[in-house]
Structure 1
């Protein structure tokens, strides 16, 4: 069995177990204990090789987990201390339960540790990118499980939830905030599966948001998804917090008008029904990247951390207008704003129809620009 399969840890148990282990280690500094990574590799368990990793945002409770590092590289994590023992990093991301499959809501502290590992440890940003900011301890998340391994996750800001901890601003619609799929699992339809799950989760909401800005890879997957699911074209908006109508941009309209730089490598993403063709691909690699991710607009305390990821040549969205009124501190006010339809939504069909007519007249010169 693996950590996620063991009885759930209480919030305080994780920190207290870490403190107890460190105290015991300091009491016997020359215990000569080793952690076996493989048949030919091991790491000595000493205070110098151990650090405490903070799991949540700075203003959240101070839950931390112990991490074991090689003596010559403290940026590399090889094991975590959970359930009073050390576990290899890859084992923390695994499950022995075959029923744990697909997108599963995060409920336990161990599952939140998995989200932390995927976003902060396993994920190694490329040049020009920055790390994900830490998530709140009560963030709504779903982990994507495939072949008994955690291969990705996504987080959501609920309608009516506070935008931050120091103002009374609330989100005016559900917002898909962060999405991550491991590099070894890309182009297998998982991005489409996440978008489908998000739309189904909030099926009763007329409008859904996605944190701005959209990365080129995410825009490409949205293009494929909305070409297949026309009923969501007028539901999905790129938004800035808290998501008033002046802070929303219809994603499908933006794609048709060429407002997004699309990552063409993501356009080959298979539909969920075709993912079985590549089941032989290995999921054991720890190398990964954010195949679908967008900037969180709720964390404004630190300009660096509010960027979930920055991709080269990614266009920045202009500063949005402020919403009408004096604030969004109550649900009643949120509902009133949410009922005001923007002009762009009313003319969406007319705009796309005109563009389709123009595309037909110029088909010879434009080729298959929209082909996936």
Structure 2
């Protein structure tokens, strides 16, 4: 990539990280990043490399703004190299992937026309897209600190799907499948599939992507009952209400779940939504 390429630019035939990071290992990314960091120590600081963001902000690449971030949470040793904003030292604006800096917005793009719809996360490139959607787009840019709760980092083997549309990632959801461990400190296992996070970018809300992901979740597991992690927002209740309006025969399908979802830890969403005034809430807001 040209060192001054803006994040909104698109080149014909250009591949984005999710397109070429299909058969690449985490170790290869880390080796490339370590080599770059070693070389950065000897770069002429009078003429630094610059990344140009979509608002025309230029971010110089120097050792004081570059650092490693854990891809799968603080307890995991796997990491990627990030460039941070001068205005916010906790906000990553670009990631270093196999010899190039990629702005976070370009990381969410694809040139693969077949990458469309709701697709399961399997490759390291898709894991990085999931990381950016969760930890950068939602947590740094779009989370309302007064209303929303942060998601935990998704683990390297967590079941998750990304929603793609018109060459970009617009949202994701993740699931704890039935039978999976509640956490690494417990021997308890989930009693039913539980959607533990769902997110649609603000610029794509109101277009039905949240409802599409809910339908995909139900169809992917085909259980008599599926759960959504407690506490549900009113926006999530409204989305469930829309689903139940389309499929009124499934009033016993959706449950709000605490813990592993035992019989005394689940609450019927159809019944609860009848007691709420949901008219003022938009669908597909973040759900912890």
* TM-based fold match above 0.5: yes
Question: What's the secondary structure of 2:92's corresponding residue?
Answer: coil
**1:155: which partner in 2?**
174
Q: CA deviation at 1:30?
A: 3.6
**2:133: which partner in 1?**
118
CA distance 1:76–1:166, change in 2 (3 Å):
closer
CA distance in 2, matches of 1:30, 1:213: 49
Q: 1:42 aligns with which of 47, 58, 61?
A: 58
Question: What's the secondary structure of 1:238's corresponding residue?
Answer: strand
Q: CA deviation at 1:201?
A: 0.4
Matched-pair contact (CA < 8 Å) for 1:157–1:175: yes
**1:285: which partner in 2?**
none
**Runs of at least 4 residues off by over 4 Å:** 38-41
**2:113: which partner in 1?**
98
Determine whether 1:2 maps to 2:16. yes
- Deviations 1:261-283 (CA, angstroms, capped at 9, x unpaired): 636242xx6xxxxxxxxxxxxxx
CA distance 1:228–1:7, change in 2 (3 Å):
same
Q: 1:142 aligns with which of 140, 144, 161?
A: 161
Q: 1:229 aligns with which of 247, 250, 256?
A: 247
Determine whether 1:220 maps to 2:238. yes
Matched-pair contact (CA < 8 Å) for 1:209–1:239: yes
Matched-pair contact (CA < 8 Å) for 1:210–1:236: yes
Q: CA deviation at 1:227?
A: 1.1
CA distance in 2, matches of 1:29, 1:159: 54
Q: CA deviation at 1:216?
A: 0.9
**2:186: which partner in 1?**
167
User: Any gaps of 5 or more consecutive residues in structure 1?
Assistant: 270-290, 295-307, 309-372
Q: 2:99 aligns with which of 80, 84, 87?
A: 84
CA distance in 2, matches of 1:199, 1:150: 21
User: Any gaps of 5 or more consecutive residues in structure 2?
Assistant: 1-14
Q: Which has the higher strand share?
A: 2
**2:215: which partner in 1?**
196
Question: What's the secondary structure of 1:264's corresponding residue?
Answer: coil
Q: CA deviation at 1:104?
A: 0.5
Q: CA deviation at 1:176?
A: 0.9
Q: CA deviation at 1:31?
A: 7.3
CA distance 1:71–1:38, change in 2 (3 Å):
closer
CA distance 1:73–1:239, change in 2 (3 Å):
closer
Q: CA deviation at 1:21?
A: 1.5
Q: Please report the RMSD computed on the Cα atoms of aligned residues, expressed in angstroms.
A: 1.9
Q: CA deviation at 1:182?
A: 0.4
**1:292: which partner in 2?**
285
Q: CA deviation at 1:89?
A: 1.6
